[in-house]
Copies of this chain bind each other. A is one copy, B any other.
Amino acid sequence: MSRVVKLAVIPGDGIGPEVVAEAEKVLDAVTASSGVTFDKTRFSLGAARFLETGDTLTDDDLQAIAAHDAILLGAVGGTPGDPRLKDANIERGLLLKLRFTLDHYVNLRPSKLFAGAPGPLANPGAIDFVVVREGTEGPYVGNGGAIRKGTPQEVANETSVNTAFGVERVVRYAFDLAERRGKKVTLVHKTNVLVHAGAIWQRVVNEVAAEHPQVTVDYLHVDAATIFLVTDPARFDVIVTDNLFGDILTDLAGAVTGGIGLAASGNINPDGAFPSMFEPVHGSAPDIAGQQKADPTAAILSVALLLDHLGLGAEAARVSAAVESDIASRTGARSTAEIGSAITALL
């Protein structure tokens, strides 16, 4: 009996199409004899599409994408400062709209320092942690506005919204993950300043922790967490944090584990009500687009997260292992396609 997975593919802008092509190469190869067929639909979305049609993400797009089992996304976003994009916000209108509408409340971002990966730290130690970033609340809700805009009397507000419902489900996910890993959860927040948002996170963590006596619980203010990410990143196992702090910590974590060219992510709806979406943490990098200069490894590791999510753990492990040995044997510069082919050959 063969299983068919309906996969929506959004190559996007800039280096997106190039890295997605390699990710697909790996996906096709690793599932060739798995009995699982990927039925792919390509969606042409992003800055390029906006410039052509004026649409960012229509209701029809959303409905069509939501009818899939999973989503693979490259990167979206036009050239910074492009005047034609001045009033478009591709990030909010496309990427965040997908995350919010498809209820991707777990933004899963593993950080692992592979042997041989370049990194800025003199003594990085053994880095292997996962950031569980909340994906549907916090300062990202778009709950803001301005009065007297453009004048010396302008006041611009942004409201972070945090619900017990939203915090609890992601905290539960983090504790379940820690049970299967190193049995440690670190909450990162700024409870001493953001006292209301901080209190709800701390309370929920305390409550869920009581159900997980095997899991050690730790707390760090976000500022202190950035210090430990560069002085003792090996101390982390599972970090659970809000949408904005998670955004900041995972870029820094990507940098300390060999660069954002290696950092993968999954925007996950664990309930399965909506398709989950897998994407490299990096952006569209228009400055190097079309030049075969981008590292497709982050996109390929996102395929590993996708396979894991679909229950194809063995295939996911083969992809990770192939990436690991490719990184260990890297020497000179290679093109995007050469890296993709090398990893495919190592499967």
| Chain A residues with a Cβ under 8 A of chain B | 89, 91-92, 96, 120-123, 139-140, 142, 144-146, 148-165, 168, 190, 192-197, 199-200, 203, 222-224, 226-227, 230-231, 244, 247-248, 250-252, 254-256, 259-260
Contacts and interface: CB of A to CB of B under 8 A. Distances in A.
Contact of A255 (B154, B195, B226, B248): B226
A190, A196, A230, A255: most-surrounded residue (chain B CB, <10 A):
A196
Contact of A227 (B149, B161, B163, B260): B260
Contact of A139 (B148, B160, B247): B160
A75 to B, nearest CB: 13
- Top 4 closest A-B pairs, CB basis? A223-B251, A226-B252, A144-B196, A154-B164
A197 B231 contact: no
A153 to B, nearest CB: 6
Nearest to A249: B226
Contacts of A144: 160, 194-197
Contacts of A158: 139, 159-160, 162, 194, 196-197
A252 to B, nearest CB: 4
Nearest to A283: B224
Contacts of A255: 226-227, 230-231
Contacts of A252: 223, 226-227, 230, 252
A48 B228 CA distance: 28
Contacts of A251: 223-224, 226-227
24 contacts: A89-B195, A92-B193, A92-B195, A121-B122, A139-B160, A139-B193, A140-B193, A144-B160, A146-B199, A146-B200, A150-B203, A154-B163, A155-B161, A156-B200, A157-B160, A157-B161, A160-B160, A222-B247, A223-B251, A226-B226, A226-B248, A226-B251, A230-B230, A231-B255
A100 to B, nearest CB: 12
A156 to B, nearest CB: 4
Given A161-B155, A227-B254, A230-B230, A139 B91 contact: no
A190 B152 contact: no
